[in-house]
Amino acid sequence: MKRFSWRQILAWGRPALGVVLLFVFIGGVWVGTATADLYIPRPGRGPLPLLDEAWNLVTAEYYGNLPPASVRFRGAIRGLLETLEDPYTVLLDPAPAQQEQQRLSGRYGGIGVSLWWAETGVIALTPNENGPAARAGVRPGDRLLAIDGVRLQASETLEAVAARLEGEVGSAVMLTLRREGTSDEITLTLTREETMQPSTEWRMVEGTDDVGYLRIQLFTTQTPDEVPQAVRELLQKGAHALVLDLRGNGGGMLADLNVIAGVFLPAGATVYYDVTETEEHEVQASGDPLFTGPLVVLVDGGTASTSEILAAALRDHGRALLIGAQTYGKSSIQALYPLPDGSMLHVTHAVWLTPARVRLDGVGLLPDVPAEPRPGADAALEAALTCFQAGECRR
């Protein structure tokens, strides 16, 4: 069996069902080989006589139609995996497996925009250059009022709104917008395309001239390149303090996290410990830090796995305060194995420890500054700005 390379080892923040739902609701395509005719060996021809006997009884006595062999075999695999009592060692069917690969590569059916809170309860858009939204006439700063005629609610999160914008490639979506500085509403109909979605978004915080904002939505193959680029651009715009937003980030690719951490930590600083059944490996930050100013990290219950590793490393080394709510708490690492029918096997092969050698399973990280979410406002970001203004964000 060919094992995925280290760059394809994941640290996801929720059990597989949560991962699949993430792709359904929030969202290089990898495609498996043609479906194989999977089967259970006949008695005397395989190593599983008990299973053979049980299945032969079923085939002889069952009243009704049997599902295809591939479906039956996946069911058998899932039954075996359930005995491990590990919610992260799972089998994904071909369609969710392909969605996972699309998500991690940054490809999805969408319109090519980033969302951000422009003011209390109002979401603004920034179109990706040459994306469907930009070509249709969406301008930076346009306020999003409705999607397909359904008005946005003040209680909706950015993630929920993003989910409404995504869909099947080729499908249409209608946006109701208000141009910045006007009261007139306009309607645009866009066609969703296969879009390369950046894993990050960044900007200067509105109402400030020296606070940058960097959000990592998911750790994908693009993130190690995007984070340094974002920090350089924010520094050029005059950022002296930085908000790193990891809320709702359920993890993703663990490879090259040392590069991302190295943007904020000195070379050689411990990012995490990778512990398998037989060995322990210390992962260290690499490169020279690009940003050494005041830093806060926004976290919540959706901050999990890879994002928890980064948040813990920044706090353990005294680089950042955590603001928001308790994180999810997941310390296991999964390796991915593609199977011949296009399905994907996730196998827990290691756990990680924080630089302080803490395992976070079921515990998570407690914020230094709690900030409960409020409808139509960003309480955590407001707390971060207050922290900067008071000069309390250096530990």
Residues recognised as catalytic: 305, 316, 330
Name which of 269, 214, 218 is nearest 241 in CA terms: 214
| Rg, the chain, Cα only | 23
356 phi-psi bin (left φ>0, alpha ψ -120 to 50, beta other)? alpha
Cα dist. 388→68, 204, 320 in Å?
Answer: 60, 14, 12
User: In 62-179, which ranges are continuous DSSP H helix?
Assistant: 69-82, 94-105, 132-136, 158-165
Name which of 361, 239, 351, 365 is nearest 313 in CA terms: 365
Check the CA dihedral 297-301-302-308 and report its sign.
Answer: positive
Q: Cα(161)–Cα(147) distance, rounded to whole angstroms?
A: 9
Q: Cα(375)–Cα(160) distance, rounded to whole angstroms?
A: 13
Q: What are phi and psi of 352, to 5 degrees?
A: -120, 150
Cα dist. 179→35, 118, 125, 154, 376 in Å?
Answer: 50, 12, 10, 19, 20
The SS3 of residue 392 is coil
Q: Cα(135)–Cα(112) distance, rounded to whole angstroms?
A: 10
